[in-house]
Amino acid sequence: MERQPHQRGGASPRPSPELSVPARRDPAGNLRGYVRVAALGDSLTFGVGDPTTTGYRGWARILTEAIGNDHEVSFCNVARAGATTSDVRSQQLSDAVEHRPHLASLIVGLNDTLRSTWDPARVREDLLHCAGQLTQGGAVLLTARFHDHGQVLRLPRLLARPLLERIQVVNDVYDELHQRFGGPRVDLSAHPGVYDREFWTIDRMHPSELGHRALAHEYAEQLLELGLTFEPPGLELDGVPTTRARELRRMCTEGAPWIGRRLRDLAPAATRSAVQRAYRRFA
- Nearest Cα residue to 219 out of 86, 44, 27, 96: 44
Say if strands 55-56 and 31-41 run parallel, antiparallel, or are unpaired.
unpaired
Residue 9 domain flag: no
**pLDDT at position 65, please?**
97
- By 3-state DSSP, what share of the chain in percent is helix, strand and coil, each rounded to 5? 50, 15, 35
CA separation for the pair 85, 95 (Å, rounded): 15
Residue 218 domain flag: yes
Residue 185 domain flag: yes
Distance of CA 197 to the CA centre of its chain: 19
Q: CATH code at 172?
A: 3.40.50.1110
pTM higher than the cut 0.85: no
Distance of CA 66 to the CA centre of its chain: 18
**pLDDT at position 116, please?**
86
Residue 41 domain flag: yes
Residue 128 domain flag: yes
Say if strands 55-56 and 185-187 run parallel, antiparallel, or are unpaired.
unpaired
φ, ψ for residue 75, nearest 5 deg: -115, 125
- CB-based burial label for 257 (10 Å; 0-12, 13-18, 19+): exposed
CA separation for the pair 222, 192 (Å, rounded): 19
Residue 18 domain flag: no
Give residue-wise pLDDT tens across range 7-61.
Answer: 444 445 566 666 878 887 777 777 689 999 999 999 999 999 999 999 999 999 9
In sequence order, the 6+-apart residues with CB closer than 8 A to the CB of 165 are 273
Q: What is the DSSP letter of 155?
A: -
Structural domain count, the chain = 1
Residue 8 domain flag: no
Q: Which domain holds residue 95?
A: 23-282
Give residue-wise pLDDT tens across range 228-276.
Answer: 999 999 999 998 876 666 666 665 655 556 556 656 666 666 555 544 5
CA separation for the pair 58, 42 (Å, rounded): 11
CA separation for the pair 37, 283 (Å, rounded): 54
256 vs 189, residue with greater confidence: 189
- Nearest Cα residue to 80 out of 102, 104, 111: 111
Distance of CA 63 to the CA centre of its chain: 13
Give how far Cα 175 sits from Cα of 91, 142, 185, Å.
24, 12, 10
Give residue-wise pLDDT tens across range 83-122.
Answer: 999 999 999 999 999 999 999 999 999 999 999 899 999 9
Residue 211 domain flag: yes
